A and B are shown apart, each in its own frame.
Chain A
Amino acid sequence: MTGWSDATIWVVIVALGIGTFVIRFSFLGLLGSRELPEWALRHLRYTAVAILPALVTPMVLWPAATGGQTDPARLIAALLALAVGYWTQNAIATIATGLAALFGLQALGL
């Protein structure tokens, strides 16, 4: 991988492995059945629906594959995938829509 030595890649893998395990073990292993305060649980409930959209946004708006230029086909395909995911609550339908829309729009010359 460009810019990453094998040693650094393994540091990332092992550090993420340990960190992820600590998160997973946390309240199950270290703290027993002690309850988390309600305000903390309330924030944790929104980690996935906050961090993941933040990550996706620039990938959709300024894709590296087009040199950072906004690509109408990718943008429309992403919005369609988001809408289908929201309405169907189905992960596979989300992916199928996004990829089918992108290939379809590119075939149409967009």
Chain B
Amino acid sequence: MASSTSAYLRGIRAALPFLLVVVPFGMLFGVVGTEAGLNLTQVMGFSVVIIAGAAQFTAVQLMQEQAPTVIVLVSALAVNLRMAMYAASLAPHLGPAPGWQRVLIAYFNVDGTYALSHMEYETHPDLSLSDKVSFYMGTATVICFPWYLASWTGAVLGAAIPASLSLDFAVPIAFMSFFAPALRTLAHVAAAGTAIVLAITLQWVPYSLWILLAGAGGMIVGAEVERRMAQ
């Protein structure tokens, strides 16, 4: 038990720097959501029920553009597909945990909790299962709960911001901060470049389907470049 407590505290400590990202992003979502016309309960619905920043911004953006509901759902879920990879990568470590714990782990699976926990499990492969779960919950405590609070704060502040002071540019810049730091290899750059070119050339495709086509094209090119580089 003592060991699990210290693993939990280590998770908290490891995640503290992420507050610098989580708090501004959460507030930004609250402000942007409110400016888009969501009420406080709906903003909190997004941040508590979905708890995935990039997907939340995607959904709100497409709803503002009057995209069909199905396109809003599929596009936002496509943004979250990377989490299937996170789940697959956590499974060897956390798969043996009891069912209710795996439900909580899945709910809290965001970029930060995944990245920190996976790094911890790789550097300390001898950790017990309960230590691994405790560390993960420590990171979730610092990353996920402030996300709710920051969204709420942003929504309350956002209602006071005049619409004339348009924050539209904050959305593409927030997206850019999600992917630009992730462009680590030639394959990442090729995937992003392909997606950008396809996004420009496929604008004529109806129902905002160009998003999925450009995304799929980028993924295929990225995967193919990685495969060839590995040979």
Chain B residues touching A, range: 35 or more
Interface members, chain B 72-89 (any A CB < 8 Å): 72-73, 75-88
A43 pairs with B95, CB closer than 8 A: no
A residues within 8 A CB of B226?
42, 45-46
Number of A-B contacts (CB under 8 A): 286
Interface members, chain A 58-110 (any B CB < 8 Å): 58-61, 63-65, 74, 77-78, 81-82, 84-86, 88-92, 94-95, 98-99, 102
Segment from B6-14, B35-43, B137-145, B153-161 that makes contact with A: B35-43
Chain A nearest Cβ from B34, distance in angstroms: 10
Q: A8 to B180, alpha carbons, bound, how many Å?
A: 33
A27 pairs with B21, CB closer than 8 A: no
B residues within 8 A CB of A95?
24, 170, 173-174, 176-177
Q: A92 to B216, alpha carbons, bound, how many Å?
A: 28
Interface members, chain A 1-46 (any B CB < 8 Å): 1-4, 6, 8-17, 19-21, 23-29, 31-36, 39, 41-46
B99 within 8 A of A: yes
Residue picked from B85, B86, B107, most chain A C-beta under 10 Å = B85
Chain B nearest Cβ from A84, distance in angstroms: 8
Q: A49 to B170, alpha carbons, bound, how many Å?
A: 19
B200 within 8 A of A: yes
Tell me which of B82, B94, B214 contacts A48 (CB under 8 A): B82
A63 pairs with B50, CB closer than 8 A: no
Chain A residues touching B, range: 35 or more
Can you give 10 A-B contacts (C-beta < 8 A)?
A2-B64, A9-B42, A17-B49, A27-B84, A41-B88, A47-B219, A64-B64, A81-B180, A88-B181, A91-B178
Residues of A within 8 A of B (CB): 1-4, 6, 8-17, 19-21, 23-29, 31-36, 39, 41-61, 63-65, 74, 77-78, 81-82, 84-86, 88-92, 94-95, 98-99, 102
Residues of B within 8 A of A (CB): 20-21, 24, 36-38, 42, 45-46, 49-52, 54-55, 58-59, 61, 63-66, 69, 72-73, 75-88, 90-92, 94-96, 99, 102-103, 105-107, 109, 166, 168-184, 187-188, 191-192, 194-196, 198-200, 203, 210-211, 214-220, 222-223, 226-227
